[in-house]
Amino acid sequence: MVERIWRTYHKQLLSFIQKRVSDPVLAEDILQEVFIKIHSKIDSLQEGKKIKAWLFQITRNTIIDYYRKSNKNEGFDTQNLDLEDENNAEAMADIQSCIVPMIKSLPDDYRDALLLSELNGLSQKELSEKLQISYSAAKSRVQRGRSMLKEALSQCCSFEKDSKGRIIDYEKKVSSCDNCREN
């Protein structure tokens, strides 16, 4: 099984590591360490758990361990090590293609609040001035709009999150969403 994982994922994992470690030889060493951990922990992979997310979590932790052990973490924030690889960026772009149509399907007050604040970058104070409503009402509209958008997304897709709640993978549900384009 580890050999199949190597053939399928080693390039993606190496690319992920190289984006975070400048020395190419060190990146290869970290990749080897990752596969040693995979080999030794393959039995702990829970049935039904997505292997890709598991692999990237091991890789992320191995990179963090390297920086902690070597005291080379000056300017390196181990708390915010990004989990996105090229495939996750593609997944996020796919999800984002659904968001604007979903926002546009919300009731007018919430649609306008989200379009202006989230997509046009207005602060909630600027939003309240533009819509001529109180600051409290602007905050409420944005919060409720986000909640409605989150519900709409959860009806279309199931999301896998890491331990900090960040989305690391998603899967479209069987009943496809009218707002999402088909790829």
Angle at CA of residue 90, ends 117 and 110, nearest 5° = 20
In this prediction, residue 156 carries a pLDDT of 81
114 and 75 Cβ atoms separated by less than 8 Å: no
**Two tokens at 51?**
């292997």
- Please give the Cα distance from 142 to 144 (Å, whole number): 6
Domains of the chain, each with CATH number or no CATH: 2-80 (1.10.1740), 86-172 (1.10.10.10)
Location of structure tokens 């393959």 = 42
CA atoms in the 13 A half-sphere facing the CB of 71: 0
Q: Does residue 158 sit in helix, strand or coil?
A: strand
- Residue of 180, 118, 120, 181 lying closest to 147 (CA atoms): 118
Give 171's contacts (C-beta < 8 A, 6+ positions apart): 157, 158, 160
- Residue of 66, 12, 15, 56 lying closest to 162 (CA atoms): 56
In this prediction, residue 83 carries a pLDDT of 43
In this prediction, residue 93 carries a pLDDT of 54
Q: Where are the alpha helices (DSSP H) in 19-107?
A: 24-41, 51-70, 86-104
Give 51's contacts (C-beta < 8 A, 6+ positions apart): 5, 45
> What parts of the chain have a pLDDT lower than 70?
46-49, 71-97, 162, 166, 168-170, 174-183
Q: Does this model's pTM top 0.85?
A: no
**Two tokens at 82?**
């990004």
- Please give the Cα distance from 29 to 43 (Å, whole number): 23
- Please give the Cα distance from 71 to 2 (Å, whole number): 31
